[in-house]
Structure 1
Amino acid sequence: MPILSGKKVAMIIASNGYRDEELEKPREALLSSGAKVVLASSSLKEAKGKLGGSAKPDILITDLKVEDFDCIVFVGGAGSSEYWDNETALEIARKAYNEGKLVAAICIAPVTLANAGILKDKRATAYSSVVGKLKNKGAVCTKEGVVTDGNIITADGPQSAEKFAAALVEKLSAK
Structure 2
Amino acid sequence: MVQGKKATAYPAMCDKLSDQSHIHNRVVVDGNLITSRGPGTSMEFALGTVEKFFGRPKALELAKALLVVRQ
Task: Give the secondary structure class of the aligned counterpart of 1:148.
Answer: strand
Which of the numbers 10, 17, 36 marks the counterpart of 1:127? 10
CA distance in 1, matches of 2:38, 2:8: 9
Tell me, what secondary structure is at the counterpart of 2:16?
A: helix
**Equivalents in 2 of 1:152, 1:172: separation in Å?**
12
Separation (CA, whole Å) in 2 of partners of 1:151 and 1:168: 9
Structure 1 runs not aligned, ≥5 long: 1-117
Q: What residue is the counterpart of 1:147 in the other structure?
A: 28
Structure 1 length as normaliser, TM-score? 0.29
Larger Rg: 1
Instruction: Give matches, 1:74-85, under 5 Å.
Output: none
Cα offset, 1:134, TM superposition: 2.2
Using structure 2 for the length normalisation, give the TM-score: 0.67
Corresponding residue of 1:160: 41
The 4+ residue runs of structure 1 with deviation greater than 4 A are none
**SS in structure 2 opposite 1:147?**
strand
The SS at the match of 1:123 is coil
Which residue identity lines up with residue 9 of structure 2 in the other structure?
A: A
Following superposition of structure 1 onto structure 2, how do residues 15-34 of structure 1 map, counting pairs within 5 Å? none
Work out the percentage of aligned pairs sharing the same amino acid.
40
Higher helix proportion (structure 1 or 2): 2
Structure 1 residues 37-76: aligned runs within 5 Å: none
Instruction: Name stretches of at least 5 consecutive residues in structure 2 with no aligned partner.
Output: 56-71
Root mean square deviation of aligned Cα: 1.2
